[in-house]
Amino acid sequence: MDNDGVDKVIEAFRNRDNFLITAHVNPEGDSIGSQLAVYYILKRLGKRAVMADHDDVPENLKFLPGSESITREIPKDFRLDTVIVLDCPVRDRIGRISDCIDERPFIVNIDHHVSNGFFGNVNWVDREASSVGEMIFHLAEKMGIEIEKDPATALYTAIITDTGMFNYDNTSKETHRAAGELIAAGVNPKAVHAEIFEKKSISEIRLLGRALTTLQLEEGGALAHMSLTRKMYSEEGVDRVSTDEFINFPRSIKGVEVAVFFKEDGITREEINVSFRSSGRVNVNIVAAHFGGGGHALAAGCTLNCGLEEARDKVLGGIRKALGVGA
């Protein structure tokens, strides 16, 4: 941990008075949970603070006490002197919130992204931390502020969403120590998990079923792919569902090196969203980039403006080449 950074954050929290707490566009568990916990700490210090984000709080995080106070606008009469930016590698990631800030404020940048650009007046960047939530836990501990059940639930939410339930490589001994202390502070792990991960719609589950029945293995089981069509959506009588987790199913098959998920999306069928996952041998970022997309070596995506058949032909051809089996 960067002790110099955390000390300067504590100094800013103690010495300054009117705080805006914000995070990135499309906020998720780590940004919402960390915002709520920072708000709690500032209130315990007797400070004035507001929370605002570019987008609304996602449905599955609205159970977090206090999340109803996170707005999309800064109250007109609030004269802020300090902006706390959470979980953002660059300042632009706070989106429209940037426009709401009149003068040049003092910026406290708290983040765990490797790519953080140190854009703050104070920067605390811990690339080893699983989540900003884990960092805020350490901050409260270092300040000697007792975390009650509600902020503990917010921080636990931040940690489990950013680690995939303690599964990803970012999970360390410190991550588990934080989680254990938060449970001791009153968090109910099963109830939190149910709120975040077990509030699906029947349409989402039935569409997952339809997509899974299209699953195919090729190249001796190294390549798995499946598709979701507009027809499936219309047969279920829905326009959109969250399909973020669908790609995990082909990925979880034994022997699969690359999993690909094709989704007809947009207003016409001539737009295909493609998600890629790799188990390590193939860099799917390179394949996605070839089709104008991007991501990471193990998880990437792209969009093709063509029909489903054509998209499948092109993309699977690219994967076969990357696997060293195609032309």
Please identify, among the stretches 28-36, 98-106, 120-128, 192-200, the one whose residues bind its own copies according to the rule CB under 8 A. Answer: 192-200
The answer to whether residue 54 forms part of the interface with its own copies (CB under 8 A) is no
Select from 76, 104, 173, 240 the one that contacts its own copies (CB under 8 A).
Answer: 173
Of 74 and 224, nearer to its own copies (C-beta) is: 224
Say if CB 287 and CB 315 are below 8 A apart.
Answer: yes
The answer to whether residue 166 forms part of the interface with its own copies (CB under 8 A) is yes
Of 248 and 268, nearer to its own copies (C-beta) is: 248
Q: Give Cα 123 distance to the centre of its chain.
A: 21
Of 63 and 119, nearer to its own copies (C-beta) is: 63
The answer to whether residue 205 forms part of the interface with its own copies (CB under 8 A) is yes
Query: Could you give the count of Cα atoms lying within 13 Å of 285 in the half-sphere of its Cβ?
Result: 6
Euclidean distance between CA atoms 201 and 88, whole angstroms: 30
Q: Give Cα 104 distance to the centre of its chain.
A: 28
Select from 180, 220, 292, 326 the one that contacts its own copies (CB under 8 A).
Answer: 180
The answer to whether residue 209 forms part of the interface with its own copies (CB under 8 A) is yes
The answer to whether residue 244 forms part of the interface with its own copies (CB under 8 A) is no
Of 47 and 177, nearer to its own copies (C-beta) is: 177
Select from 190, 240, 267, 327 the one that contacts its own copies (CB under 8 A).
Answer: 190
Please identify, among the stretches 37-45, 86-94, 248-256, 289-297, the one whose residues bind its own copies according to the rule CB under 8 A. Answer: 248-256
The answer to whether residue 138 forms part of the interface with its own copies (CB under 8 A) is no
Angle at 253 (CA atoms; ends 249, 254), nearest 5 degrees = 160
Q: Burial level of 236, CB count in 10 A (0-12/13-18/19+)?
A: middle
Euclidean distance between CA atoms 17 and 40, whole angstroms: 14
Q: Which residues lie below 8 Å from residue 318, measured CB to CB, with a gap of 6+?
A: 287, 290, 291
The answer to whether residue 211 forms part of the interface with its own copies (CB under 8 A) is yes
The answer to whether residue 220 forms part of the interface with its own copies (CB under 8 A) is no
Q: Give Cα 131 distance to the centre of its chain.
A: 10
Q: Which residues lie below 8 Å from residue 195, measured CB to CB, with a gap of 6+?
A: 60, 63
Q: What is the largest CA-CA distance in the chain?
A: 66
Of 42 and 154, nearer to its own copies (C-beta) is: 154
The answer to whether residue 141 forms part of the interface with its own copies (CB under 8 A) is no
Q: At 137, which amino acid appears?
A: F
Q: At 149, which amino acid appears?
A: K
Interface residue list for its own copies (CB under 8 A): 165-169, 171-177, 179-181, 183-184, 188-190, 193-194, 197-202, 205-206, 208-215, 217, 221, 224, 249-254, 279
